[in-house]
Structure 1
Amino acid sequence: MDEIQYSEFENPSFDAKELVQRYRKRIPLPHLQKILRGHHAATRQELIELINEKYADFVSLSSRMQGVERALKPLRAPLEESSELTKGLHTKLGGLLQKAEEAHQGLARIQARKAALNAYIENARLLQKIQCSTGQKWSNPQESDDFFRDRITQECIARDLRRVRLNLEGASAEGDAPECKALLDEALAFQEDFSKRLQEKLRLLLSASKKGWEASQGDSAADRRIPRSELVAVAHTCKALCTIGHSEPVEQIFAEVFAKAALEEISVACSAAAEEAKRKAMAETSGAKMVAGAVDLAVFFQSVAKAFFTEESALLGFAQRLRRGSDGDEALAVPSLKLVAYSVVLPALRQVQEVWPNVFMPAFPDTFAANYVHFTKFLQAAEEVMDTSEAQVLRRDPALCDFQRKWKTQVYCSLRTKEAAQLMDAAARRLATSEPAQHKAAGGFWLEVSSELARTIDLVWSAWYLSSLFPKMARLSLELLARYGKLLSGFAETSSTAGLGWDAGASPPGWNTSSQPVRLARAASDVLQVMHSLQVDGAGAGTIAKLFLDRLPADEKPKQLTQALLADSAEGLRPTLALLKDEMLKQVVAAMVTHFAAIRGIPAFYRMLNKPVPTKASPYVESSLRPLTAFREVLVGSAIRDTEIISSWLKEMVDGASQEFTSQAAQLIELTRQQEASLRRLAGRGSGGEEQVSDLDKIHMQLCLDVDTFSQMAAETAGGSAEGLSKLIEAVSGIRRDKPP
């Protein structure tokens, strides 16, 4: 092997690609790449040493690899031959599997064809037998010597027809069976003809029963029963039709015979009553705005319920007797029929949609709500005469769901919300100017806005309420309560700038009935009454809470949620109540503290005038408490039930007045001490040695006596001692000659 020309690597401008091509057969490519990388990283001498050190290993590895290749060369041809044989075997096996699969499919088709032919032969014989039996039955209807055998034969034919149809439908679905499809078409055509004959027969039977029922109108309810022979004939005919899956035509026939003409007559009567009511309204109101869409459906729904849901109804008699059999005879039961639902209720609802399509629009909200309530009551009356399964089927029926969706309840709710807002706005505009009305035992409110709130909420749940709008009606009521709280909060804020209204010259002195404190007290009384009406406790529910709870279902979870909403709404009125209380406190305290200016005149009354020792309180004490006493009478007269609330409010007023009294007393004490110190510095002042009580002592005694009297009378008026009174007594404790025990 030629030596590597290291001088080529020493050349700085060597071509690495060319060197790789030259040495790749002698040096493995990874090592050669390492050498080239080393050329860029190491010195020329290090690169040469690396190549010489690993060259022998490279040559040895290359020699061994050539030996391995020579050893494997004899094995290559057998292995390739084995691979070709394996591929050929795989191709042959695949062909065999495909042929087996085709054979299996052919066998399955043969078996399906055989089954279809067997089904065809069996059902063709059965259909021929049915046709023969039916031909004999229709050809000699008067020759039957056994009434029940004739009815049983009719039902057997229906069962055989159903079996033929089901067998042929299954055979046609499983494979290619044109003869089964042709036989199925023949069977369906025969079944349709058989059904038409039975329907005509049922129509004749029901017409005869209707005539007999109408002929017995004068008989008592106990005597007016459907004859058993007629019931048996109708029951077996209905069973035969239901067996072949034609229960819907049965219900349509009942509706045509018993309900169609009656519903048309009732519709005409209802339209005539609506026109008469419209004419009277226009005459009474000199052209009231009325349209045809304002028809009241009370006459229609009540008449339908009276005609079909009482013992006077022949249709209800059939429905009850065919539901579970007559007189306990289960053989006469046709439970698949839903005569009340599909022969009365749904036809009546279709009649409404056809004759009065405008009733679903709330152009006249009162009439819309009344019609919706009439429909709801009609549906409830229908469910009362149904069994549970029939009522459940009716509730899920698409026709009833579509009828319920036609009522534009969302539009109606929006109109009612707007109307309620207008009522509250009108009452709010009169709130600031109107005088509080006299307390009425019926309404129990002083302010017109409170009465309007109670009236509107009652209107929401009585005249406006719809069963499908409970969440929206509840939301509207809660919004009205929140609006009411904001209105009275604004009323309290505007009252803070008004006059006091305290009439000290009256006999006796008192608060004017039109004064702001009186109005605030009565407003607070209304708020408390509204909060009380929202409460639900062991004693029962308040008036407003009862309106909510009476409309709830028996489920406990909605009841708990509603109670929580009512509690939150009552808590939402507490800030309004606190604001009213604060404004009352400010004005009553302002009327009380004006009399405390007389405290500054106590020193002038005793100093250097040789006045006797005081034995009673100053007149200003009683005068300052008169506004509080009079306002207590206002609170009591405002019909506030909770005496604890009255007492707490009076105590807060006493605290406010006591704070001003304390300030005035502290100023007087400090002033007298300064004056006394100045007098002692005057050399010419006579002390009056025989005098045991100084003028300063008399001033302090008078002040203490005023404080004690004020504290006692205020505590009696407020129903308990207040915190401000304790601070007031503590403020004068340092000037008492005899410390209180």
Structure 2
Amino acid sequence: MADLVASPLRPPPPPLPPHPPTATDLFGDPIESHPPWFKAEAFLRPDFSPESYVAELRSFVPLESLAAELRAHADALQAELVDLINRDYADFVSLSTRLVDVDAAAARMRAPLAEFRGKVAAFRAAVDAVLADLRGGLRRRAEAAAAREVLELLLDTFHVVSKVEKLIKELPSTPSDFSTADLNSASKGSVSNDGVLQNVESGTNIRETQSILLERIASEMNRLKFYISHSQNLPFIENMEKRIQSATLSLDSSLGSCFVDGLEHRDANAIYNCLRAYAAIDNTSAAEELFRTTIVSTLIQKIIPVSPTPVVTGVSSDLLEEDYQKIKQCVEKDCKFLLEISSLANSGLHVFDFLANSILKEVLLAIQKGKPGAFSPGRPTEFLKNYKSSLAFLDFLEGYCPSKSAVTRFRSEAIYTDFMRQWNVGVYFSLRFQEIAGGLDSALSGNIVPVEIHGNEENTQTLMLKQSGKLMESLRLCWSDDILVFSHCDKFLRLSLQLISRYSTWISSGLAARKARGGSANSAPDAEWAVSAPVEDLIFVMHDVRILASELSGDYLGHVLQLLDSCSAEVRDLVKQSILQAGKSLEELLPSIMEVMIEVIVEKSVEDLRQLKGITATYRMTNKLPVRHSPYVSGILRPLKVFLDGERVSYLTKEATNDLLRGATERITSRYYEMASDLVNVAKKTESSLLRLRQGAQRRVGASSDASDNNISDTEKICMQLFLDIQEYGRNLAAIGIRAADIPAYRSLWQCVAPEDKQANIVF
């Protein structure tokens, strides 16, 4: 600084070379000197971190490029700083001339500043003292206001208690205490101390006047409760507690007497005023209980006495249908007037629920004491009747609810929940499950039993097995009015699907055992029926499965969806899909049943085909030539013909019959080809071995083999016989409507045994 003051006129340094001109594009706009990923403003952020900046850019920018850009940016900043210094260099140099005697100037300014600081501190202390006084005054003022409020509250409480006591004294103990003179004086217009009974109109009776006074007392009591709730734990209030309790008891007693008297005389105005009084003191339960004990209880006990009379022989004493009908009549006759009063619009009486807490409560108590067996699911039929009757009774009570919200409030009452809890529908379903599922399980435990057909009647749409009929009966029971509980329809749907699955398992396990030929000793109990059942019984099985699948997707499904009409479309669609899937699972059994029937017929035909092995013994080492077909050929298709000529084939559809005929003939022909080809191959091998032995012996003895070359070989004889046999077999196939040339196995058989000149055309 001294150097700057001593030589203020030092010549300025030589100016730096100017910046190179900024590059511009074709239109004169400056071209960005940095790539787009380099943002110089990032260095100015308060949270800038060099490590994070480099780590973020190194994932897509080489470090060499980043270093080059940073060096270029640093050079640009340095050049800019030099430009700024050169631009204001004269001001920077002249600054030293203005800094002469700075310390003296600072000393001169320090004294007035210290004086000003002292004045400010003194003024601040004075302001703080005044502020403290103001705050103290405000606090005392608030305390005084609070004390005044408490005093006013206590005074109001005292005045209300005194007013309530005064009004209570004007009440007689019961409405009957009013004398005829009082009634006459009141009708002329008597004057009370408080003016409550002033100017009573001639049409207003003493009961109504008393109810009006009680309503006013109730409003004052409500006001008193408000005061007490805001002045708890005060000695003055605690000292008045006995007076308040006495007034409360007197009000409850008088209000109860007036309300009961109004109920007995059907005085709508008095009842209305009493209900408003009960609502004002928030004691709705007392009014509901009084109505239950005085009116409802008397009526219900006449219908359902606590000690029921002896039961008439053959009539159950626990049925509730007739009792509910009588209770409905009593409600219409003796309770409707109060329900209408409590449901008046804009009356404020919606807080009462006489339906639940008076009527339903008394009905529940009467049933529990008089007919406790009505709730027992041990007798499912009676239980279901009582349950449905109870639901109908609840619907009847809900009919008195003036709005949807009232219905919701009625259902949310504790007594409603308790009433519904008495009906143990879960146990009822368990009993029905055992009854229905056990019946089907018993039917499926033995051999299949065809139903009895009377006379010549034949109905191809009737179930022919008792097991199938039991399944259909069980399925219909699940959705019958005498069994179904709508609230548990999901469980009955599951039971229906389980019944179908049980029937499907019974059939599939039997078919598997029949295919495995394990015999009854190795098969499951459910499969014994199929092991010993004749093939004709399988026709009934296939027929019943087809009828059941059709019924499930038709009338049965329609009946179930009709019962669930009140459910949402999504629920109904899920039910529909589940039942259709169950029907589809039954239809999937049809090919397996057909397969077993075909297999049984083929096995019987193979027994005749085994005679084919005798052809070798017939033509070996003989000069005998075949001239006609073998006897076994006529028996190959005999089991199939017998099956098709049977009476039960009419229960198969035409399509199923054609499938069975085609499948059986193809399978029989395939087995025929296998056995014939094996026979020919064995004959050829045997003949080749014999020929080699014969040629070896001839060579040893030097004999000529020309004589044997003209003989017909055993293999040729066998092929000639087989050719005659398959021609006859083809004619037998044509007799039952099957074209032999359409069967691949028959064409292979023809190629195997036919002479070379006849292999091109299959003709017989």
In structure 2, what is the equivalent of residue 161 of structure 1? 220
Q: CA deviation at 1:347?
A: 1.2
- State the Cα deviation string for residues 583-628 of structure 1 (Å, max 9, x = none): 32221222333444576788979x988999x9xx998777544543
Contact 2:284 2:351 in 1 (8 A): yes
Q: In the alignment, does 2:365 pair up with 1:350?
A: yes
In structure 2, what is the equivalent of residue 419 of structure 1? 435
Q: In the alignment, does 2:634 pair up with 1:628?
A: no
Contact 1:495 1:516 in 2 (8 A): no
Contact 2:561 2:572 in 1 (8 A): no
Contact 2:303 2:323 in 1 (8 A): yes
In structure 2, the CA distance between the partners of 1:457 and 1:172, relative to structure 1 (3 Å rule), is farther
Match runs of 1:301-700 below 5 Å: 301-308=324-331, 312-319=332-339, 321-322=340-341, 324-325=343-344, 330=345, 334-387=349-402, 388-429=404-445, 431-432=446-447, 434-438=449-453, 444-462=462-480, 463-492=482-511, 516-535=534-553, 540=554, 542=556, 546-547=559-560, 550=563, 554-567=567-580, 569-570=582-583, 573=586, 580-596=593-609, 624-625=636-637, 627-628=639-640, 631=643, 637=649, 639=651, 644=655, 647-667=658-678, 683=707
In structure 2, what is the equivalent of residue 245 of structure 1? 282
Q: In the alignment, does 2:153 pair up with 1:119?
A: yes
In structure 2, what is the equivalent of residue 172 of structure 1? 231
Q: CA deviation at 1:348?
A: 0.5
CA distance in 1, matches of 2:643, 2:135: 106
- State the Cα deviation string for residues 143-179 of structure 1 (Å, max 9, x = none): 3216579599448615632541442143135xx4333
CA distance in 2, matches of 1:646, 1:154: 94
Q: In the alignment, does 2:302 pair up with 1:234?
A: no
Residue 683 of structure 1: SS of its match in structure 2? Answer: helix
Listed as ranges, the gaps of 5+ residues in structure 2 are 1-132, 173-177, 188-199, 520-531, 692-704
- State the Cα deviation string for residues 542-562 of structure 1 (Å, max 9, x = none): 35x844873585134443444
In structure 2, the CA distance between the partners of 1:491 and 1:236, relative to structure 1 (3 Å rule), is same
In structure 1, what is the equivalent of residue 123 of structure 2? none
TM-score using structure 1 length: 0.62
In structure 2, the CA distance between the partners of 1:704 and 1:577, relative to structure 1 (3 Å rule), is closer
Match runs of 1:147-226 below 5 Å: 150=209, 153-154=212-213, 157=216, 160-161=219-220, 163-173=222-232, 176-180=233-237, 186-187=243-244, 189-209=246-266
Residue 463 of structure 2: SS of its match in structure 1? Answer: coil
Counterpart code for 1:348: V
Contact 1:235 1:333 in 2 (8 A): no
CA distance in 1, matches of 2:641, 2:252: 93
Counterpart code for 1:275: V
CA distance in 2, matches of 1:125, 1:269: 50
Counterpart code for 1:732: W
In structure 2, the CA distance between the partners of 1:671 and 1:266, relative to structure 1 (3 Å rule), is same
Contact 2:160 2:224 in 1 (8 A): no
Q: CA deviation at 1:450?
A: 2.4
- State the Cα deviation string for residues 480-501 of structure 1 (Å, max 9, x = none): 33333343345446666699xx
CA distance in 2, matches of 1:399, 1:553: 27
In structure 1, what is the equivalent of residue 298 of structure 2? 261
Counterpart code for 2:226: N
CA distance in 2, matches of 1:203, 1:152: 11
Q: CA deviation at 1:517?
A: 1.0
Listed as ranges, the gaps of 5+ residues in structure 1 are 1-98, 210-229, 282-291, 500-513, 689-693
CA distance in 2, matches of 1:101, 1:707: 126
Number of residue pairs the alignment of both structures matches: 569
Residue 487 of structure 1: SS of its match in structure 2? Answer: helix
Q: CA deviation at 1:478?
A: 3.5
Counterpart code for 1:739: A
In structure 2, the CA distance between the partners of 1:113 and 1:621, relative to structure 1 (3 Å rule), is farther
In structure 2, the CA distance between the partners of 1:704 and 1:652, relative to structure 1 (3 Å rule), is closer
Q: Which moved more, 1:660-669 or 1:488-497?
A: 488-497
Counterpart code for 1:178: P
In structure 2, the CA distance between the partners of 1:391 and 1:659, relative to structure 1 (3 Å rule), is same
CA distance in 2, matches of 1:440, 1:200: 79
Counterpart code for 1:335: H
RMSD of the alignment, in Å? 5.0
